[in-house]
Copies of this chain bind each other. A is one copy, B any other.
Amino acid sequence: MNFDLAEGLAVLARTPGTLHALLSGLPAAWTEATEGPETWSPFDVVGHLIHGEHTDWIARARLILDQGPQRRFTPFDRFAQFEESRGKSLAELLGTFARLRAENMTLLRGWHVTEAQLNLEGEHPAFGPVTLRELLSTWVAHDLGHIAQISRVMAKQYREAVGPWRAYLPVMDR
């Protein structure tokens, strides 16, 4: 499937509602569960998505669209949420994420990005040249990957509880 701006936006716009429906009001036994040491809980993932709204996707898209002399992205901090989410409730994080995403959708829609602009390049600190098309595709896939992760982390909490059914539940051993 080729990247299409309207199709990509359709997914990005739905993520806050999906996370709210999945997680809002759930017992902490679910939302603070992980897959083991050094892995993330649903709570951690929401904080990570917030950090992305603040510092990653829109900032990088703007850098590419500007085509200024400095097109190199600031490296993304994958662990910022451990500090930034401290002391906050999941309800607060879900609200913050929904607000930031809505603002970023408004920005992105307002840019009226053209097909030609989707081919403009920025410089990724590890990969080198990447296009706006690739950046926006990654934003969409990144959301979906984290929704899959949250569901998988939660499912695994019942790995023992399901007894013999584990053999029919591939999610338990991914």
Binding site for B on A (CB under 8 A): 1-4, 6-7, 10-11, 14, 17-18, 20-22, 25-27, 29-30, 33, 124, 127-128, 130-131, 133-134, 137-138, 140-142, 144-145, 147-149, 151-152, 154-155, 157-158, 161-165, 167-172, 174
Contact = CB atoms under 8 A, between A and B. Distances in A.
The 3 A-B pairs at the shortest CB distance, nearest first, are namely: A145-B171, A144-B155, A17-B21
A105 to B, nearest CB: 15
A117 B21 CA distance: 30
Nearest to A8: B158
A120 to B, nearest CB: 14
A148 B155 contact: yes
Given A127-B164, A130-B164, A161-B133, A155 B169 contact: no
A31 to B, nearest CB: 10
15 contacts: A7-B27, A10-B27, A11-B30, A14-B26, A18-B18, A20-B21, A21-B21, A21-B22, A127-B164, A130-B164, A138-B163, A141-B169, A142-B169, A147-B147, A148-B149
A161 B134 contact: yes
Integer count of this chain's copies in the complex: 2
A1 B29 contact: yes
A21 B27 contact: no
Contacts of A6: 27
B7 A29 contact: yes
A11 B29 contact: no
A155 B163 contact: no
A26 B7 CA distance: 8
Given A141-B171, A161-B2, A7 B30 contact: yes
